Chain A
Amino acid sequence: MKRGLSTIALAAAASLGLTGAAFAETTVGLLLPYSGTYAALGNDITDGFNFAIEEAGRADAFAIVREDTEAKPPVGLAMARKLVLEDEVDVLVGVVSSGVLGALRDFVDGAEVPLIVANAGNDAATGEACSPYIVRVSFSNAQVNRPMGQWLVDQGIGKVYTLAPDYAAGHQMIEAFTEAYAAAGGEVVGGEFTPFGQTSDFGPYLTNAGSSGAEAIFVFYAGGEAISFVKQYGSFGKKLPLYGSGFLTSPLYVGAEGEAAVGVTASLHYVPTLDTPENKAFVDAFKAKFERTPSEYSVQGYDAARTLMAAIDSGAADRASIAAALPKVSYASPRGPVEIDPATNNVVQNIYIYETVADGDGLTQKVVGTVEAVRDEPNGCELQ
């Protein structure tokens, strides 16, 4: 009977891919949403991560255990505990939702397990709630939007109307933009936060924006809401120019927005049309493997793996040494030069201002401005 049980346990372990752990040097816990609203992002980040370790010929050096956070904070926390306590992973990679990141923060900080954040942009995670164990390779909400303030004023746009979904990320993105825009001399003449996940008709808000006296609209929307918003903006005749946070016209779903997205200008930390040798090689190889253009999410997964491999190459092997090595990493990513800021553990990177333009039957991204090496202020973070 006992023997039977251990056979079952072995079989179960094998089916989870744990048997490989005996040979792998590093065990990675991928903590991402694989179901629910953000499943597409979880899959894209996973593809980017796996692509990086395969490209480096080091797939065998990593044992990967995946868990689904469902983008829900309690589920994410339970899965993080499971990965850390049961699977004894050396490093956690993932987290799409800022809510999940907030729920995990105290646990990973207390358990002293390094977490490489591959999406969640919550400013607090590398601000007042920063931790020596949390390193972010994706972006912060403020980092992506701040550069648009000065840029819009430089384009001669003095009055804007803002829109975003009514939740933490929406508020942070718009606040960062508003602050920078006001500092540069622009005026936000009005704005609203729309009920998150409940708004399917943006017509009333677009009509409000049209009568507000603004010269342009600045918005943050992502995923399904971004598609609905841009299409409805198009159907109302594009009366005001539309600017936004770059997730609005992400290459992951800009195809679904179609012609309505043409002319929309937004800021983001990566676009697949960047003209650098690193990016061209990356895009070609990614397309050859997955038959699609990489998005910013693919690159975030890719850079999470690159950052981890760079830390391991510098001699790190266990949780403590990986956590210590991560903030010292810098290299040439497809998105341009990246480094981790030891003052906040947030990535320092270029922000690209790009316009979505028609390219034959499809759409492509034309970079119209680059703000180099954007670095967040510590904002209460006391790592140094």
Chain B
Amino acid sequence: MDAGFWVLQLLNATQFSMLLFLLSVGLTVIFGLLHFVNLAHGALYMLGAYVGISVAASSGSFWAAFILAPIAVTAIGAVLYVTLIDRLRGAGPMNQVLVTFGLIFVFLDVVRLLWGDVALSLTAPKSLSGAAEILGVSYPAYRLFIIGLGAVVMASLWLVLSRTQIGAMIRASVENEAMAAALGINVGRLFFSVFCLGCALAGLAGVAAAPIVSATTGMGISILIPTLIVVVIGGLGSLQGAILGSFIVGFIETFGAVLLPGFAAVLIYVLLAAVLVLRPEGLLPARG
């Protein structure tokens, strides 16, 4: 195991962390701002992958899929918000969990009806299908693209949240919704926009992951668990929490598989339990 080996595993861990970040940041911001548990977030990720595959198949272009899939998932999210989510906001966590859990199965069967049961996949664009030389090793270019994509999304969200008026409004609403509304912030519209942004990121994660993993009807459910773990470890509602949580889970999953393969599946749950016991509010929660 030379230095190249560790560089490769470091890149693997970073790439997986970025994918987790794209998924968990939407979930955690919706969680923090709307106090809404959206278990259907994984289903939106699945829809992003499937819609992307169909768009790429009909247009012949990965980039068309890359743009259109998040837009389509945002539209689906907007419809969901208007028809269900908004009505459920005061209904208590149990009702929210039951309804969004039900939505998982609705989307699962919709996908089965439209796309069938056989797993599908998306081909990475020609320009990213080869390997690139980085830090003395040869690494799949598409995986580097995912790392770059995650970094760009991370930086943009950080800039918007910390440097713009909308960001200040979002932070104010997370901190104290009633006070923000009293100050003249249209909290309803803000919630809608943030929910749509979360859906767009889920769709983006889906279409971005499709060239690496296969699209199956189970992908939405299987990704939901690590995503929820990221949110719980990182702390509800904060961008920094989602970043930290994604990197912790991504690195533990990857280096667990390298160093302690027998325990790879368990390690992350051990960490989750430890965080829940020692810091139940998460490592970097939005509210202090």
Q: For the complex, is B213 an interface residue (Cβ under 8 Å from A)?
A: yes
In the bound assembly, the distance between CA atoms of A210 and B5 in angstroms comes to 9
Pick from A37, A43, A211: contact of B1, CB below 8 A. Answer: A211
In the bound assembly, the distance between CA atoms of A198 and B13 in angstroms comes to 16
* A237-B131 contact given A192-B261, A258-B123, CB 8 Å threshold: yes
- Asked whether, in the complex, the Cβ of B12 is within 8 Å of the Cβ of A203, the reply is yes
Interface hits, B86-132 → A, CB 8 Å: 112, 116-121, 123-124, 129, 131
Interface string of A62-98 (1 = CB under 8 A from B): 0000000000000000000000000000000000000
Contacts of A253 in B (CB 8 A): 118-119, 214
Q: Give 4 new A-B contacts, CB below 8 A, not counting A198-B265, A201-B213.
A: A195-B265, A207-B8, A235-B131, A253-B119
A301 to chain B, nearest CB (A): 15
Q: For the complex, is A157 an interface residue (Cβ under 8 Å from B)?
A: no
* A235-B124 contact given A200-B223, A211-B1, A211-B2, CB 8 Å threshold: yes
- Interface range for A: 35 or more
Pick from B9, B218, B253: contact of A207, CB below 8 A. Answer: B9
Complex interface: stretch among A226-234, A334-342, A359-367: A226-234
In the bound assembly, the distance between CA atoms of A235 and B139 in angstroms comes to 8
- Asked whether, in the complex, the Cβ of A256 is within 8 Å of the Cβ of B121, the reply is yes
Contacts of A197 in B (CB 8 A): 218, 222
In the bound assembly, the distance between CA atoms of A224 and B124 in angstroms comes to 17
Pick from B121, B212, B222, B258: contact of A204, CB below 8 A. Answer: B258
Contacts of B258 in A (CB 8 A): 204, 207-208
Q: For the complex, is A257 an interface residue (Cβ under 8 Å from B)?
A: yes
Q: A residues near B, CB below 8 A? A: 35-37, 39-40, 43, 166, 192-195, 197-198, 200-201, 203-205, 207-208, 210-211, 223-225, 227-228, 231-232, 235-237, 252-253, 256-258
* A224-B219 contact given A39-B117, A200-B213, A252-B118, CB 8 Å threshold: yes
Q: Which residue of B lies closest to A295 (CB)?
A: B118
- Asked whether, in the complex, the Cβ of B264 is within 8 Å of the Cβ of A195, the reply is yes
- Asked whether, in the complex, the Cβ of A235 is within 8 Å of the Cβ of B8, the reply is no
Which 8 A-B residue pairs are closest in the complex by CB-CB distance? A227-B214, A40-B117, A224-B216, A195-B265, A235-B140, A203-B12, A256-B121, A39-B117
- Asked whether, in the complex, the Cβ of A232 is within 8 Å of the Cβ of B212, the reply is yes
B248 to chain A, nearest CB (A): 16
Q: For the complex, is B138 an interface residue (Cβ under 8 Å from A)?
A: yes
In the bound assembly, the distance between CA atoms of A208 and B257 in angstroms comes to 9
